[in-house]
Amino acid sequence: MDSVETYFPGSSTGSHVGGELLSGTGQAVDLVDPTTGQVLTTYADGGADVVDAAVAAATEGARRWQQMTASARGQALWQLGQEVRAEAEPLAHLEATVAGKPLRDAGAEVAKVAEMFEYYAGWADKQHGEVIPVPTSHLNYTIREPYGVIAQITPWNAPVFTGGWQIAPALAAGNAVVIKPSESTPLSTVVLARLAERAGVPAGAVNVIAGLGPTAGARLVTHPGVNKVVFVGSPATGRRIAAAAAAELIPCVLELGGKSANIVFADANISRAVGGAAAAIFSGAGQSCVAGSRLLVQRQAYAEVVERLAELADRITVGPPLSESTQVGPLQNKPQLERVRQMVGAAAQAGARAVTKSTAMPAHGYFYRPTVLADVTNSDAIAQQEVFGPVVAAIPFEDEDEAIALANDTRFGLAGAVWTGGVERAHRVARGIRAGTVWVNSYKTINVMSPFGGFADSGFGRSSGTDGLAEYTQAKSVWVETDDEAPLAFGY
């Protein structure tokens, strides 16, 4: 492969299909630098033709990938982890430039991507079926088979991380993928595809579409050559995609948004809880599906927690992602910045009080200061709708029952956390929160080894760990008659 620098915004922007760069023929799409608001480059939407070519390439890619032994596939995936490590610096630089992520966060995410390939490399030759003691004279066994071609659609908030997160288990299970990252952040996923080929994954096993949702994405998720869809993005798009795929009887996994409750009891280590609350909502400029966007604080500690969090927020350095001192970068795109402004403005009109004061940030680009809103009630729009920005709504509660009730009073169910000094309470509340991930005296730790996914409007199906791997295979049951005089069955 050429050096990663080749994939910096420029003439090479396009889709990666069957090992080749394929230019689109659709409408022009601007790739905009979130730090400056300037256009980095313009590429043509990979519309129907590119999608059809990618699915055809993936069909052939799956065949070639499955011809390799499971161990050889594992070795290629392990090598892919090493390729990602070897290119970590330019890859993080690319991600920081296009997604607007502070360089150190981008570097940490690239390291996680390497881990994902290394973890699933180990699973490639360890997916066995079972022998089932059926009550007949048959030998009955199961095989975990890959689906074939997987369509994956990902958002702009963590493109390389989300790409690795879904490509790794799909490949480990023996599938090929056609992945469509967000139109505003396609490049780092193209790099992953190129690195996969450098590691020994056959061309066609990983294809990347640089294109728009309503054109390329919509065609991909209902394509007759696609066997499963895995979508990471907003609930509104997820609903549309699941409905479209269902009409074609294509199964889906949906990893959607959240409005996670971060619950602080008065008996918690308040310093840790405040630091954790800041990381929960401000890292990544709040553009995280698991962001701790509702801060529920027991009334005795409410004033102190809100004040200390606001002080901490006001000290955060908001700046260009490539600067060493930056802690929070820009939002990734202008519509998102406008949405955050609009939601905070509406919250203020509804009675929320902004406790944060600092206005220090670059004059240009899509920057937004970390914001703490107090005097919010849980039924307010700012506490019910996903902001996807560095804005936390602080809500007081009286006791454990009320904390759990407020945490669950949302359509979402992605994550939550509890900060307390009481071990019994920690487990009770962890069990009481209706969400796919709960942290105790911690926030936002996730790892490829542990399952991740949503309850309710946060989606269905799981990613990561063995649960995530299982989404990429289906069981086949094989019945072998061992008695040639056994009666032949006419019914079940």
Applying CB under 6 A, among 53, 77, 210, 289 the residue interacting with ligand NAD is 289
Structure tokens at 320: 């260009």
Min CB(36)–ligand NAD separation in Å: 21
Q: Which is nearer to ligand NAD, 90 or 225 (CB)?
A: 225
Part of the chain binding ligand NAD (CB under 6 A), chosen from 69-77, 89-97, 191-199, 212-220: 212-220
Type and span of the H or E element at 482: none
Contacts with ligand NAD, 248-267, as mask; x by CB under 6 A: -------xxxx---------
What is the helix (H) or strand (E) element at residue 232, kind and residue range?
A: strand 228-232
Q: Which one of the spans 30-38, 226-234, 304-312, 442-450 is the region binding ligand NAD (CB under 6 A)?
A: 226-234
Residue 122 binds ligand NAD (CB under 6 A): no
d(CA 180, CA 210): 6
- What spatial distance separates the first Cα and last Cα of the chain, rounded to whole Å? 55
Taking the complex as a whole, the smallest distance from the CB of residue 179 to ligand NAD amounts, in Å, to 9
Provide the minimum distance between the beta carbon of 294 and ligand NAD in the complex, in angstroms, as a whole number.
14
The answer to whether residues 472 and 170 touch, using CB atoms and an 8 Å cutoff, is: yes
Window 145-184: residues binding ligand NAD (CB under 6 A): 153-157, 180-183
Size of the site for ligand NAD (CB under 6 A): 31
Which tokens sit at 103?
């360089």
Please tell me whether residue 58 binds ligand NAD under the rule CB under 6 A.
no
What H or E segment, with its residue span, contains residue 1?
none
Name residues contacting ligand NAD, limited to 327-366 (CB under 6 A): none
Which of 289, 386, 400, 471 is catalytic? The answer is: 289
Integer Cα distance of 207 and 177 in angstroms: 6
Q: Which residues contact 374 (CB under 8 A, 6 or more apart)?
A: 306, 352, 353, 355, 394
Under the criterion CB under 6 A, does residue 232 sit at the interface with ligand NAD? Answer: yes
Segment interacting with ligand NAD, rule: CB under 6 A, options 48-56, 213-221, 275-283, 399-407: 213-221
For the question of residue 289 being annotated catalytic, the response is yes
Nearer to ligand NAD, 140 or 234 (CB): 234
Among 80, 106, 195, 221, binds ligand NAD (CB under 6 A): 221
Sheet holding 228-232, edge to edge: 20-22, 15-17, 206-208, 176-180, 149-153, 228-232, 252-255, 459-460
Minimum separation from the CB atom of position 138 to ligand NAD (A): 42
Cα dist from 375 to 234, 355, 433, whole Å: 27, 10, 23
Instruction: Return the bridge partners of 297, or none.
Output: 264, 396
Decide if residue 461 touches ligand NAD (CB under 6 A): no
Cβ 255 to ligand NAD shortest distance, Å: 3
Distances (CA, A) of 475 to 40, 68, 124, 305, 472: 46, 20, 16, 50, 10
* Binding letters toward ligand NAD, positions 409-448, x by CB under 6 A: -----x----------------------------------
Which CB, 34 or 174, lies closer to ligand NAD? Answer: 34
Burial 311-328 (b: 16+ CB within 10 A, else e): bbbbebebbbbeeeebbb
For residue 402, indicate whether it is catalytic. no
Query: Which region, left, alpha or beta, applies to residue 47 given φ > 0 means left and ψ of -120 to 50 means alpha?
Result: beta
Cβ neighbours, 10 Å, residue 118: 19
Least distance to ligand NAD from the beta carbon of 182, Å? 4
Helices (H), 173-201: 187-198
Residue among 255, 386, 400, 471 flagged as catalytic: 255
Contact with ligand NAD (CB under 6 A) among 20, 69, 131, 214 = 214
Q: Which residues are catalytic?
A: 255, 289
Q: Please give the residue ranges that form the binding site for ligand NAD (CB under 6 A).
A: 153-157, 180-183, 212-214, 217-218, 221, 232-234, 237, 240-241, 255-258, 289, 386, 388, 414, 454, 459
